């Protein structure tokens, strides 16, 4: 069912902007690969999934993602470009002094003030960069050793193609058909959708299934979806569960979409933008939507 839904979305929303899809070089792919090894034990000198030390873990995953970095922490600290803590982007290497004798530990910035690393006590784990008990006071700098295409894609300048977004009504129709929702007896109504709308039954069905909702009694059938709204649609349509604290800078704890976004983050479906934001009100491009669905199906 998930694969079928993916194909439906792709056929509905895909438009030709090849440069947005051409590269697998994304920070999300890197973080997903890093998280694949969560819980792998720490082994001094370890460079394989049977056991990593901190720099061996970095070198192994970066190589898998197509980037070459040196083997030791000291060598990695001398590579790439220096980055201030305020300008960290997902994929940057972050370094610590844990011995009192200079750089001795490395991890990868994962967004929202978190980093992934192979720790001696817990193995591969996620930790707050500002951990007041240990890591916060031992942070000494960061290096950008690779450039990534994050979720905020920019279309190619030439040839110029108009970005076409699917309307909420069109997505509702495809969801209702794909999920085989009961469109005959659904009775949810909206002020701006009546039986003259060809997608009236589908809109009522997805609303009754709690996949879509309106605002103040309106469905806005011709409207476009924001990233916040799409987070809810994906979670509801794919019946996703589990949660992890994403801590995106622009997503307050009390926002209606926060938990949906946390669920996507938990499943590695989104890491947000490189500046630590999610882009709540950004309209969803077909490229972003396609990537979200691809990650769900992995």
Mean pLDDT of 81-93: 93
What is residue 124's predicted lDDT score, i.e. its pLDDT?
Answer: 95
**Of 105, 241, 255, 267, which one is the catalytic site residue?**
105
pLDDT for the residue numbered 282: 82
Least confident of 77-91, 106-120, 207-221: 207-221
**Residue 132 — pLDDT band, cuts 50, 70, 90?**
very high
**Catalytic (active site) residue 117:** yes
Task: Report the chain's mean pLDDT, rounded to a whole number.
Answer: 82
Q: 33, 136, 145: which is closest to 92 by C-alpha?
A: 145
Q: Does the pLDDT of residue 294 top 80, yes or no?
A: no
In the prediction, which pLDDT does 115 show?
Answer: 95
Kindly state the average pLDDT of the residues 269-280: 82
Catalytic entry in 37, 54, 255, 266: 54
Active site residue 37: no
The one catalytic residue in 117, 241, 255, 267 is 117
Over 70: is that where the pLDDT of 40 sits? yes
User: CA 193 to CA 200: how far, in whole Å?
Assistant: 6
105 phi, psi to nearest 5 deg = -150, 145
pLDDT, mean of residues 50-72: 94
Three-class SS state of 118: strand
Instruction: Give the C-alpha separation, 255 to 188, whole Å.
Output: 25
Contact at 8 Å (CB) between 218 and 184?
A: no
Question: Would the pLDDT of 154 be above 50?
Answer: no
How would you label 248-257 residue by residue, b for 16+ Cβ within 10 Å and e otherwise? bebbeeeeeb
Can 255 be counted among the known catalytic residues? no
């Amino acid at each position: 069912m998930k694969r079928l839904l993916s194909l439906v979305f792709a056929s509905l929303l895909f438009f030709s902007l090849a440069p947005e899809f051409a590269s697998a070089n994304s920070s999300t792919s890197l973080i997903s690969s890093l998280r694949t090894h969560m819980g792998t034990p720490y082994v001094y000198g370890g460079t394989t999934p049977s056991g990593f030390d901190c720099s061996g873990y970095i070198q192994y995953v970066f190589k898998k993602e197509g980037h070459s970095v040196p083997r030791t922490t000291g060598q990695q600290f001398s590579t790439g470009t220096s980055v201030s803590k305020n300008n960290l982007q997902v994929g940057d290497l972050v370094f610590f002094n844990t011995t009192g004798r200079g750089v001795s530990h490395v991890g990868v910035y994962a967004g929202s003030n978190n980093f992934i690393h192979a720790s001696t006590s817990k193995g591969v784990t996620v930790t707050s960069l500002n951990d007041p008990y240990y890591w916060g006071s031992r942070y000494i700098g960061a290096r950008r050793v690779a450039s990534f295409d994050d979720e905020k894609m920019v279309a190619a300048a030439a040839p110029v193609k108009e970005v076409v977004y699917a309307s909420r009504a069109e997505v509702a129709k495809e969801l209702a058909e794909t999920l085989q929702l009961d469109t005959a007896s659904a009775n949810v109504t909206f002020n701006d959708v009546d039986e003259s709308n060809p997608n009236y039954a589908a809109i009522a069905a997805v609303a009754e299934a709690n996949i879509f909702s309106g605002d103040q009694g309106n469905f806005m059938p011709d409207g476009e979806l924001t990233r916040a709204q799409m987070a809810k649609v994906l979670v509801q349509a794919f019946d996703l569960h589990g949660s992890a604290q994403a801590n995106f800078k622009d997503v307050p704890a009390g926002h209606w979409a926060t938990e949906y976004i946390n669920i996507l983050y938990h499943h590695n479906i989104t890491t947000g933008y490189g500046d630590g934001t999610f882009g709540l009100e950004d309209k969803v491009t077909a490229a972003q939507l396609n990537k979200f669905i691809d990650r769900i199906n992995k």
